[in-house]
Copies of this chain bind each other. A is one copy, B any other.
Amino acid sequence: MKEGSGPLEAGERSTVSPHSSRGLNRGLSVLDLILRVVAALGTLGSAVAMGTTKETLPFFTLFVLFRAEYKDLPSFTFFVVANSVVCAYLFLSLPLSIFHIIRGAAVNSRIVLITFDTMMLAVLTSGASAAAAIVYLAHKGNSSANWFAICQQFNNFCERVSGSLIGSFVGVVLLILAIILSSMAAAHAAKKAIA
């Protein structure tokens, strides 16, 4: 009661929260920073790989397309935009993540980070799986809808486009981990802030 209402001294805080708890929170923050950097690089790689892929065939007929680019398919355009947005967000969130390593007791800023992380997770997942659905169609085609596989003609384009999905899905997994770690860290930080 008295401790809760009165002002806290630094000595009290360190005795209440043992070193293990403090180290745990710092470890979570460092891990969060690493996850963010790797996820940012993954989404950057995906956006660049998809954005720069072009294939022009040496021949063309009236019925077969002769030039493939990401702009030809709206889902691939969305993929590039979603990856760029998430990549920019992740780089912008790095200072806040570093701030959390230094000041382990911050609670509200962690919740702000969870909020934006969750939204960005939805954006990134949605871009990645929309592109994956189209890539699958390009590889396999669909006989009942009369959509033909275009990867026979655009082999190189399809290879690179499929590869560019990897970075994005890695980003999704890392963002999920970052959200879970942030929520653990927020709960620990809240305990420390009161204690």
Report the separation of the CA atoms of residues A1 and B194 in the bound assembly, to the nearest whole angstrom: 11
Does chain B have a CB within 8 A of A68? yes
Cβ contacts under 8 Å, A180 to chain B: 111, 114-115, 118
Partner of A186, one of B125, B187, B194: B187
| A122, B142: Cα distance in complex, Å | 26
Instruction: Tell me if A176 is interfacial: C-beta within 8 Å of chain B.
Output: yes
* Cβ of A150 under 8 Å from chain B: yes
A interface residue count range (under 10 / 10 to 19 / 20 to 34 / 35 or more): 35 or more
- Distance to closest chain B CB from A175 (angstroms): 8
Report how far A73 CA is from B141 CA in the complex, Å: 10
Contact between B73 and A195, CB atoms less than 8 A apart? no
Given contact pairs A63-B146, A129-B125, A111 touches B187 in the complex (Cβ within 8 A): yes
Which of chain A's residues 30-83 have a Cβ closer than 8 Å to chain B? 63-65, 68, 72-75
Interface residues of A in 93-140 (CB under 8 A from B): 107, 110-111, 114-115, 118-119, 121-122, 125-134, 136-138, 140
A1-B3, A130-B130, A190-B191 provided; 16 other pairs, C-beta below 8 A? Answer: A4-B16, A72-B142, A107-B187, A111-B180, A111-B183, A111-B184, A122-B172, A122-B176, A126-B129, A130-B132, A137-B137, A146-B148, A186-B186, A187-B189, A187-B190, A194-B194
20 example contacts (A-B, Cβ-Cβ < 8 A) are as follows A3-B3, A63-B146, A65-B145, A72-B145, A73-B145, A74-B140, A111-B180, A111-B184, A114-B179, A114-B180, A114-B183, A121-B125, A122-B176, A130-B130, A133-B133, A145-B147, A183-B183, A187-B187, A191-B191, A191-B194
